[in-house]
Amino acid sequence: MESRTYATAATPGDTVTVAGWVHEIRDLGGIAFLILRDTTGKIQVKFEKNDTDDELVETGLNVHRESVLSVTGSVEAEERAPTGVEMVPTEVDVLAEADPELPLDPSGKVEAELPTRLDNRTLDLRKSEVQAIFEIRAVMLQAVRDTFRDLDCTEINTPKIVATGTEGGTELFPVTYFGREAFMNQSPQLFKQLMIGSGLERVFEVGPIFRAEEHNTPRHLNEATSIDFESAFIDDAEAMDVCEAIVVAAYEAVAANCEDELAALGLAETFEVPDTGFPRLSYGAAIERINATGALDTPLAWGDDLSTEAERALGDEVGGHYFITDWPSEIKPFYIKDRDGDETLSTGFDLMHPRLELVSGGQREHRHEQLIEGFEQQGLEPETFEYYTKMFRYGMPPHAGWGLGAERLLMTILGLENIREAVIFPRDRQRLSP
Ligand code: ATP
Ligand code: MG
């Protein structure tokens, strides 16, 4: 609509056309109010029945809630109206009618359970607090991209249908590719590393990853968005610096651009940008601290992965973002490089916010021979990955990088309890549509 004015931009004295959804109709007899809602907010339309054309009154007041109307009229200041202005209509058009029975109440007066909300996401996203999550997601992703560009990274897009998984493993979704078995990719890991030996040197990708996770949890999706970074000529410590810069930039962008959205989510007073200089705790120190809390029935031993309980105990101790570094080599994947001079320690790191893993990364094994050994130690056949290992024979520089779950980042920025809140159409073990 060429001449459409947003609800919140209607200014007293103007004659405008607004368009949106019928949020509410309050019929008080001689006078009736229709509240029209669009992406910016709401505007009150006043029908003084004696002074208004009967047909207009009928069109405006006989529609069901959530029908789509366009209303033309003059804008007047009105202190008692929700936004301080109201419209006196001269024309009302019904653009799309809504059924009287709605599967979900977009005005939020009747609360809906998450499955109902996800089944009817279109209606759910008419609520300002739900819209706010996805406005913030967009701001967050833009900040991530802008920051990577400032750091001289090139955005890449790698294939999502692949012949082999990143790490072999059971988490893969098989698909049929012209009669051959293929998989949905679980990570761009190997592809982004291949770009390190190319002239691009420093790359990032924001794209889907697919994981056939065994369990439904509040922090796992079967299709997630991964923010990946990889750079030549840096080590694990420098990769952590970039990680910190990206995470903090996302918070800063939200603080700077999302005042209304934070208010809609009730976070206006409490939202804080974290300080840089996230603590870097070695795995050894981390398990000691966890054991010292006494929170676990069986204390952790060297080589144990951190259970959810362990992550909780440590998260409660530290309180904010922190890295766990120097993981035992045996529990990190083959492509992570060992510490020089100590094969038992790896350069792998995780970023945690307090109880949740946000990032895994590390310096990569760039030496061909050691890489092949790593494959074998992990029980993988290097031949299957020849497209990848081959390039390590033609000048692959030292490099490091990481992967950050976009939904987990959004979850932690906004304090969402369930990762499904951070995706429009989540994929989990039960949910394949919409
Ligand atoms: P977790 O131990 O929490 O299952 P992971 O160690 O298996 O995660 P990585 O393979 O290290 O995950 O992936 C890097 C990042 O991608 C994770 O830190 C997380 O932010 C995100 N991620 C991984 N798997 C999922 C998933 N199933 N749903 C949402 N985000 C995910
Ligand atoms: Mg991980």
The length of the chain, given as a count of residues: 434
pLDDT tens digits, one per residue of 390-422: 999 999 999 999 999 999 999 999 999 999 999
SS3 (DSSP) at 86: strand
**In which band, very low, low, confident or very high, does the pLDDT at 82 lie, cut at 50, 70 and 90?**
confident
Task: Evaluate if residue 169 carries a pLDDT over 90.
Answer: no
Distance from Cα 253 to the centre of ligand 2, integer Å? 26
pLDDT tens digits, one per residue of 61-72: 999 999 999 999
**In which band, very low, low, confident or very high, does the pLDDT at 1 lie, cut at 50, 70 and 90?**
low
192, HSE (Cβ side, Cα atoms, 13 Å): 32
Catalytic residue among 117, 126, 137, 408: 408
Based on the number of CB atoms within 10 Å of its own CB, is 419 exposed (0-12), middle (13-18) or buried (19 or more)?
buried
Instruction: State the chain's mean pLDDT as an integer.
Output: 95
Q: What is the pLDDT of residue 168?
A: 61
Distance (Å, whole) CA 399 – CA 220 = 28
pLDDT tens digits, one per residue of 96-131: 999 999 999 998 889 999 999 999 999 999 999 999
Residue nearest atom 20 of ligand 1, based on CA coordinates: 405
For the ranges 183-192, 251-260, 312-321, 379-388, which has the lowest average pLDDT? 379-388
Q: What is the pLDDT of residue 214?
A: 86
85, HSE (Cβ side, Cα atoms, 13 Å): 22
Ligand 1 nearest atom to the CA of residue 405, by list position? 20
- Angle at CA of residue 112, ends 107 and 118, nearest 5°: 100
> Which DSSP letter does residue 178 get?
T
Instruction: Give me the mean pLDDT over the 212-227 stretch.
Output: 95
pLDDT tens digits, one per residue of 170-201: 789 999 999 999 999 999 999 999 999 999 99
Distance from Cα 357 to the centre of ligand 2, integer Å? 7
Residue 369 a catalytic site member: no
Query: What pairs with residue 331 in β-bridges?
Result: none
pTM for the full model?
Answer: 0.96
Residue nearest atom 31 of ligand 1, based on CA coordinates: 405
DSSP sequence for 293-349? HT--SS---TTPPPPHHHHHHHHHHH-S-EEEE--BGGGS-TTBPEETTEEEEE--E
**In which band, very low, low, confident or very high, does the pLDDT at 380 lie, cut at 50, 70 and 90?**
confident
Question: Which residues are CB-contacts of 322 (< 8 A; sequence separation ≥ 6)?
Answer: 278, 279, 280, 281, 351, 352, 354
Instruction: Give me the mean pLDDT over the 73-102 stretch.
Output: 96
Q: Please tell me which residue, 107 or 280, carries the higher pLDDT value.
A: 280
> Which DSSP letter does residue 256 get?
H
Residue nearest atom 21 of ligand 1, based on CA coordinates: 405
Of 112, 130, 111, 133, the closest CA to residue 122 belongs to 130
**In which band, very low, low, confident or very high, does the pLDDT at 2 lie, cut at 50, 70 and 90?**
low
Could you give all domains of the chain from N- to C-terminal order, each with its CATH number? 7-96 (2.40.50.140), 122-278+320-422 (3.30.930.10)
Distance (Å, whole) CA 211 – CA 169 = 10
The pair of three-digit structure tokens given for residue 161, joined into one six-digit string: 């249908």
Distance from Cα 111 to the centre of ligand 1, integer Å? 31
Query: What pairs with residue 222 in β-bridges?
Result: none
Rg for the chain, CA atoms, rounded: 27
Crossing angle for the helix pair 406-414 and 236-257, to the nearest 10 degrees = 50
